[in-house]
Structure 1
Amino acid sequence: MKTLAIIPARGGSKRLPGKNTKRFLGVPLIAWSIRFARRQQRFDEVIVSTDAEEIADASRAEGVDVPYLRPAALASDTATSAAVVLDILARERRIGNTFDLVALLQPTSPVREPSRWTEAFAYIDRDVTDAVIGVAPAHPHPNYAFHWEQGGKLRSFADGKQITLRSQDLPPVVYVAGNMYLIRSTVLEAHGGFFPPRTVGVLCDQPCEAVDIDTEADWVAAEALAKHYGKSP
């Protein structure tokens, strides 16, 4: 099956301006995802989608294709990743390129474990799913969360379920890590999103994997973790 890897990198970050070209442990943040993608044998083509010339230049310097700058309609705060990917698939089809699978690599999750992608492709190859996403253990557990209402009143977020103080007694809960998406192209086009009915999760439970850099605090924490665990692009 032919796979297109897409790295979406919008230039208009408001909470952390210029983050995609900012140096993460000495290397532009976007280069971490590009270098990872270029090493994966299952990725037949790698494309960076961006609206910013600076990001495009940094991507080309890493040897990856930036065939066009993203149109303004797909570079706003409200534009979805699915819309960006569907636009790329349509453009590629018009020039005769078709793909069975799409892999989405968010550059804000710079550290990845290759074994997670091996597991994801194994699910697809066995035809037991249409989409695979990276997930991580939820912490704190949602059973410990509350709606904070008027007057400081607390209402259990977990639908009134009894709050358990022993964490080992709680059922396992995961959240979308944001670091890995793999989906059949036809399913994405039909469903319009990365979470069709037949979706499975691959657990990404290493400390560096599930970071999602949106703020300066996120950056500091992610960089400290990557440095501590000796990660490199």
Structure 2
Amino acid sequence: MQAIAIIPARGGSKRIPKKNIKAFCGKPLIAYSIEAAKASGLFSKIVVSTDCPEITAIARQYGAEVPFIRPPELSDDFIGTTPVVRHAIDYLQNQGIQPEYVCCIYSTAPLLQAIYLQQGLHQLQQNLDKCFAFSVTSFAFPIQRAIRVLADGGVEAINPQLIGQRSQDLEEAYHDAGQFYWGRTQAWLEGQRMFAPHSLPIVLPRHLVQDIDTPEDWQRAELLFKAYVTTEAQRTQN
């Protein structure tokens, strides 16, 4: 069994300039994804797909490979993840590398833990009818009781028939945790949909999940990371 990690990391972040290599609690942000991949012990190669020389240098410093420079047509603000992963797989296959499994790991996941990468691959291997396994977490509040703000400043329930229901009587809902996406190589190449019945959820605790798209997100992620590190250190000492 051969598994490869692909970490997309383009250089053109707008809202947080140089986000992928900005210092996060003492290290470049992308370093955490590379280190989690290494700690999992699952990958024969950890490949960073980037268009940026600075990211290339830092990725190699932390032990990843950057065997190609991502082409401009795959580096704009609108390109999705699947074409980037497919391009990397095509490159590797042309070099004679034939992975059975490919895991896309986002470069903005400093809370990612190796154990969940291991769970993802294990679940995919155990469920031969599934194509993908990816990280999810639960919403902190019932989405069925969401409200919207109206143009006149008032509010209304999005689901009026459910707004009065007790939380415990409503179905729990989950969202993409934005950390990793395991897939069979052929599923990636065929462009199979990720959010579909042929995918498995790997459920993460909410305190290990934070999107990092804005400066506020960044601050919250650092607070969560510091709290997690402190808690783990105390647990180890005890």
TM-score by length of 2: 0.89
Q: Secondary structure at the match of 1:46?
A: strand
Q: How does 1:160-179 map to 2 (within 5 A)?
A: 160-164=160-164, 166-179=166-179
CA RMSD, Structure 1 to Structure 2 (Å): 1.9
Distance 1:33 1:150, change over 3 A: same
Is 1:212 the counterpart of 2:211? The answer is yes
Aligned-pair identity (%): 31
Query: How many residues of Structure 1 are paired with residues of Structure 2 in the alignment?
Result: 230
Is 1:187 the counterpart of 2:187? The answer is yes
Between the aligned partners of 1:63 and 1:179, the Cα distance in structure 2 is 19
Between the aligned partners of 2:8 and 2:38, the Cα distance in structure 1 is 15
The answer for the alignment partner of 1:123 in structure 2 is: 123
Q: Structure 1 stretch 54-63 or stretch 134-143: which is displaced more?
A: 134-143
Quick check: 1:143–1:161 contact (8 Å CA) kept in 2? no
5+ residue gaps, structure 2: 233-238
Q: Write the letter of the residue equivalent to 2:112.
A: R
The answer for the alignment partner of 2:92 in structure 1 is: 92
The answer for the alignment partner of 1:136 in structure 2 is: 137
Q: Secondary structure at the match of 1:119?
A: helix
Q: Secondary structure at the match of 2:187?
A: helix
Question: How far is the alpha carbon of 1:150 from its aligned partner?
Answer: 4.4
The answer for the alignment partner of 1:54 in structure 2 is: 54
Between the aligned partners of 2:190 and 2:50, the Cα distance in structure 1 is 24
Question: How far is the alpha carbon of 1:161 from its aligned partner?
Answer: 3.6
Between the aligned partners of 1:191 and 1:63, the Cα distance in structure 2 is 29
Question: How far is the alpha carbon of 1:147 from its aligned partner?
Answer: 4.2
Quick check: 1:4–1:102 contact (8 Å CA) kept in 2? yes
Is 1:225 the counterpart of 2:224? The answer is yes
Q: Write the letter of the residue equivalent to 1:94.
A: N
Q: Structure 1 stretch 65-74 or stretch 141-150: which is displaced more?
A: 141-150
Distance 1:132 1:204, change over 3 A: same
Per-residue CA distance 1:116-151 (angstroms, 9 max, x = gap): 222212211212522111111113321122344544
Quick check: 1:131–1:196 contact (8 Å CA) kept in 2? no
5+ residue gaps, structure 1: none
Distance 1:128 1:149, change over 3 A: same
Per-residue CA distance 1:199-225 (angstroms, 9 max, x = gap): 110110141x21111111111110011
Per-residue CA distance 1:69-107 (angstroms, 9 max, x = gap): 111111101111100000111111111111111101112
Question: How far is the alpha carbon of 1:228 from its aligned partner?
Answer: 1.5
The answer for the alignment partner of 2:108 in structure 1 is: 108
Question: How far is the alpha carbon of 1:183 from its aligned partner?
Answer: 0.7
Q: Secondary structure at the match of 2:20?
A: coil
